[in-house]
Amino acid sequence: MAQCEVCGNDYDKSFDVVLNGQQHTFDSFECAIHALAPRCAHCNCRIVGHGVEANGTMYCCAHCAGEEGVSAIKDRA
C-alpha cells in the first residue's frame, strides 16, 4: 500500500515513477500527469504525448511552437 502524493489516495495498485532520480508515488496516471507532465509554453496544456521541443522549450504541437515564432518544426504526418 502506498499513498498517492497528489491526491493522498491510499491505493493497493499504486505505482512509482522515477524522474531525475526522484521517486514519486501515484495511484493513477491522471495524478502522475498532473504532477510530472510538462506544460506547453504556448497554450499551457499538459504535454502527455511526445510534444515538440525547440530551443529548450516544450510545446504540445508544432502549431503552438509556430505561434511562438518557432519555425522549421512540423508535426509528423
Residues making contact with Zn ion (CB under 5 A): 4, 6-7, 9, 27, 31, 40, 42-43, 60, 64
State the minimum distance, in angstroms, from the CB of residue 76 to Zn ion.
16
Measured from the CB atom, the residue of 31 and 54 that comes closer to Zn ion is 31
Residues in contact with 60: Cβ distance below 8 Å, sequence separation at least 6, in sequence order:
40, 42, 43, 45, 47, 49, 51, 52
| Alpha helices (H) along 1-77 | 29-36, 62-67
State the minimum distance, in angstroms, from the CB of residue 59 to Zn ion.
5
State the minimum distance, in angstroms, from the CB of residue 77 to Zn ion.
18
Measured from the CB atom, the residue of 6 and 70 that comes closer to Zn ion is 6
C-alpha cell at 64: 503552438
